[in-house]
Amino acid sequence: MKILVIEDDPSLREVIKSSLEKERYVVETAADYASALFKIEDYSYDCVLLDIMLPGGSGLQILEALKKARRKENVIIISAKDSIEDKVNGLDLGADDYLPKPFHLAELNARIKSVIRRNNHGGESRIELGNVCICPSTYEVQIGGKPVEMSRKEYDILLYFVNRPDRLINKQTLAESVWGDHIDQVDNFDFIYAQIKNVRKKLKEGGASIEIKAVYGIGYKLNTHVK
C-alpha cells in the first residue's frame, strides 16, 4: 500500500514515515500545501495522512481538491486542532477518520489498516479472489489453501493487482504504487518485469484460478476468468 504523509513538522513527518516503512508501506511525504497539492495531482495513493494546518494553505483545501477530482484515496486527518468544528468539517468533506495529536504510532497504524480494510475489502481481514487468499496482517499468500512463498515486492505486486481485478494497469502507475514516486527517475522497468514474471510463475505453478496478463504496449491486467 502506498501512503502520502502531509505534515509540516519535520521530526514528526520522519517518525511517521520510518514507522510506516517498517510496516512495509511505500511512503511519500509533503511538508506544505504547495508540495502536497503537487503530489496528489501527479500521483495516486491508497491512503493520505493529512494535517490541517500547513504552510501556504489548509489541509481541508487539499481534502476538497481530492473529493472534487473524485479521487478514491482514503484520508485520515492528523491534527493538533482537536476541535469539534474541524473534525466535523473534515468528515463532511469526505475524510475517513480523524486522529488528534499527539497519538501513538501503533494507533495510527491500526487506523490506517482499518480504513483501508473497511473501504477496499468491506471490512474483511482476508482478501480472497478465486482460490487465492491474501492476509494483509501477516503478509501470507495461499493458493487453494496451500501457502506460497513470495518476496516482499512480489507480495506487494500481487496485492496491488488483487485490489484491482479485471482492470488494465499502466506500467508507470504500477511502478509508482509499489516502488514510490521516485520511480520516474529510472531509465527502464527491467527490474519490475522480473518481479512480475516471478509472481506470474508462482500463480501458475500453484494452480491459481487468476492470472496476470501482459497487455502489449500498455501494462498488465489481473484476469479473474481463467479457463
Residue that wins the pLDDT comparison between 119 and 170:
170
Residue spans of the domains in the chain: they are 2-121, 127-223
**CATH architecture observed for domain 127-223:** Orthogonal Bundle (1.10)
pLDDT digits 0-9 by tens, 51-82: 988 999 999 999 888 888 878 788 999 987 66
- Over residues 13-27, the mean pLDDT reads 91
Please, are residues 42 and 33 in contact by the beta-carbon 8 Å criterion?
Answer: no
What pLDDT is stored for residue 72 in this prediction? 76
For residue 210, what pLDDT is reported?
93
The three cell numbers locating residue 225 = 476468468
- pLDDT tens for 139-178 read 889 999 999 999 888 988 898 898 888 889 888 888 877 7
Over residues 85-114, the mean pLDDT reads: 86
pLDDT for residue 181: 65
Domains 2-121 and 127-223 in one fold:
no
Contacts of 73 (CB under 8 A, 6+ apart): 4, 40, 44, 45, 46, 47, 48, 66
Q: What's the whole-number mean pLDDT along residues 120-134?
A: 76
- Strands 211-215 vs 219-223: parallel, antiparallel or unpaired: antiparallel
What sign has the CA pseudo-torsion 21, 74, 224, 175? negative
Q: Is residue 190's pLDDT more than 90?
A: no
Is the pLDDT at 137 greater than 80, yes or no?
no
- Tell me the CATH class for 2-121: alpha beta
The pLDDT assigned to 5 comes to 96
C-alpha cell at 68: 472534487
pLDDT at res. 100: 86
Q: Are strands 2-6 and 57-58 parallel, antiparallel or unpaired?
A: unpaired
